[in-house]
């Protein structure tokens, strides 16, 4: 007598919504991905599943349509009834809307060139440890991202290095001193939405005019970091919120001013605006 294939009810949470997916116990991870596509229309190459692991503490991030994970059985992926899985991903409709409306490259013109110049400048610096600026107009503390059950790679130590680089950036230091700005803590912001794709994509936040500034350091898939100059641009934007909360004419005038100052101060230490 042949073994009866059992049916599993898999719970998947995406953007606050709960989905119950009926799957054959012998199905593979790609099969689950296909069913989730039918329910949510999430684009295959953006789909990520955060699966709690039964053999050890923590969770694992799996890509159902990748060569590495697609052929895993549900059992091999530690997917079972009674364990909720979190899904990350962007719908096909969201991607199409962005592609249809895009008339130019979404990246800021000159980022690559400026980043190359920055690397060249940094290459001439002596190999000493990075020293954070001292004084009243600085960042008092730093806190990296923690996602319960997920071991981030690159690790938190690499994220902290980037935070320290920002705090020690000559342009940032000059602006903080010029405007007498002090930030209580710089924190790492969890990726919410996909850069250049999702309608809502938060890159930074300024809480209570400098009590806390949060920055999105990592890429959408959490496998790397966003470009330094892109993160720095976000920080400059959030520093302009030290004075103005709303995105009005006053805010944009200050935002423009601090970005010009940050750029020039890299080359001219006594620059004033």
Q: Are 65 and 47 in contact (CB under 8 A)?
A: yes
pLDDT given at position 105: 37
In this structure, which long-range contacts are made by residues 142-149, counting pairs with CB atoms below 8 Å and at least 24 apart in sequence? 142/167, 142/185, 142/186, 142/187, 143/185, 143/186, 143/187, 143/188, 144/187, 144/188, 145/187, 145/188, 145/189, 145/190, 145/217, 145/218, 147/190, 149/50, 149/52, 149/57, 149/58, 149/59
Span 2-19, pLDDT tens digits: 455 689 999 999 888 899
pLDDT greater than 60 at residue 88: yes
Of 94 and 34, the one with more pLDDT: 34
Delineate the domains of the chain, giving CATH numbers in brackets. 7-89 (3.10.20.90), 111-265 (no CATH)
Q: Higher pLDDT residue, 258 or 268? A: 258
Whether the predicted pLDDT of 179 surpasses 50: yes
Q: For 45-69, what is each residue's pLDDT tens digit?
A: 888 898 887 656 677 888 899 988 9
């Amino acid at each position: 007598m042949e073994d009866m294939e059992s049916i599993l009810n898999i719970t998947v949470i995406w953007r606050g919504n709960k989905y119950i997916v009926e799957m054959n116990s012998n199905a593979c991870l790609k099969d689950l991905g296909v069913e989730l596509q039918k329910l949510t229309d999430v684009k295959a190459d953006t789909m990520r599943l955060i699966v709690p692991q039964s053999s050890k503490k923590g969770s694992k991030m799996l890509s159902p349509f990748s060569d590495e994970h697609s052929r895993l059985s549900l059992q091999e992926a530690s997917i079972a009834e009674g364990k909720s899985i979190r899904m990350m991903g962007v719908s096909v409709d969201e991607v199409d809307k962005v592609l249809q409306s895009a008339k130019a490259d979404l990246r800021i013109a000159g980022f690559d060139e400026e980043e190359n110049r920055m690397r060249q400048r940094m290459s001439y610096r002596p190999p000493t440890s990075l020293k954070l600026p001292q004084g009243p107009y600085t960042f008092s503390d730093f806190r990296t991202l923690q996602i319960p059950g997920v071991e981030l790679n690159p690790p938190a130590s690499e994220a902290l290095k980037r935070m320290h680089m920002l705090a020690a950036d000559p342009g940032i230091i000059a602006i903080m001193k010029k405007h007498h700005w002090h930030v209580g803590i710089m924190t790492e912001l969890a990726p919410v939405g996909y850069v250049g794709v999702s309608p809502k994509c938060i890159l930074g936040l300024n809480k209570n005019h400098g009590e806390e500034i949060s920055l999105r350091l990592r890429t959408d898939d959490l496998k790397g970091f966003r470009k330094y100059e892109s993160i720095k641009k976000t920080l400059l934007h959030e520093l302009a919120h030290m004075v103005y909360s709303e995105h009005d004419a006053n805010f944009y005038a200050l935002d423009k001013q601090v970005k010009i100052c940050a750029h020039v101060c890299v080359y001219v230490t006594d620059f004033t605006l």
